[in-house]
Amino acid sequence: MGDIFGSLFRVITWGESHGPAIGAVIEGCPPLVPLNLKLSELPVGKDNKTPVFTCEEIQKELDRRRPGQSGIVTPRKESDIAYILSGVFEGKTTGTPISVLCWNSDVKPEDYEKFKDVDRPGHAGFAYRNKYGIYDYRGGGRASYRETWGRVAAGAIAKKILKAHLGVEILAYVSQVASVRSNVDPGQVSWQSIESNAVRCPDPEAAKKMEAVINKASEEGDSVGGIVCAVVRNMPAGLGEPVFDKLDADLFKALKSIHATKAVEIGEGLNVPELKGSEHNDTFASDGSGKIHPASNKAGGVLGGISTGENLILRVAFKPTATIKKSQSTVTQEGKPITLEGTGRHDPCLAPRAVPTVEAMIALVLVDHHLRHRAQCGDVIK
Which residues does 116 contact at the CB level (< 8 Å), separation at least 6? 137
Element (H, E) at 39: strand 37-40
Confidence of residue 48 (pLDDT cuts 50, 70, 90): low
173 is a domain residue = yes
More confident residue, 37 or 344: 37
Nearest in space to 252 (alpha carbons), one of 165, 334, 376, 362: 362
223 is a domain residue = yes
Is residue 119's pLDDT more than 50? yes
Cβ contact 349:72 at 8 Å: yes
- Residue 151's pLDDT is what? 98
Which residues does 60 contact at the CB level (< 8 Å), separation at least 6? 156
CATH number, domain at 356? 3.60.150.10
Residues 240-299 pLDDT 10s? 999 999 999 999 999 999 999 999 999 999 999 999 999 999 999 988 787 888 989 999
Residues 300-357 pLDDT 10s? 999 999 999 999 999 999 999 988 888 888 888 888 898 877 665 678 999 999 999 9
121 is a domain residue = yes
- Residue 342's pLDDT is what? 65
Is residue 382's pLDDT more than 50? no
Q: What is the DSSP code (8-state) at residue 73?
A: S
More confident residue, 51 or 154: 154
Cβ contact 352:174 at 8 Å: yes
More confident residue, 370 or 72: 370
Is residue 107's pLDDT more than 80? no
212 is a domain residue = yes
Label the pairing between strands 83-84 and 337-340.
Answer: unpaired
Element (H, E) at 65: helix 56-65
**Host domain of residue 237:** 4-377
382 is a domain residue = no
Residues 177-206 pLDDT 10s? 999 999 899 999 999 999 999 999 999 999
- Residue 40's pLDDT is what? 87
Is residue 110's pLDDT more than 90? no
The whole-angstrom separation of Cα 54 and Cα 56 is 7
Segments in 144-286 forming alpha helices (H): 148-166, 191-194, 204-219, 247-256, 277-280
Residues 6-16 pLDDT 10s? 999 999 999 99
Number of domains making up the chain: 1
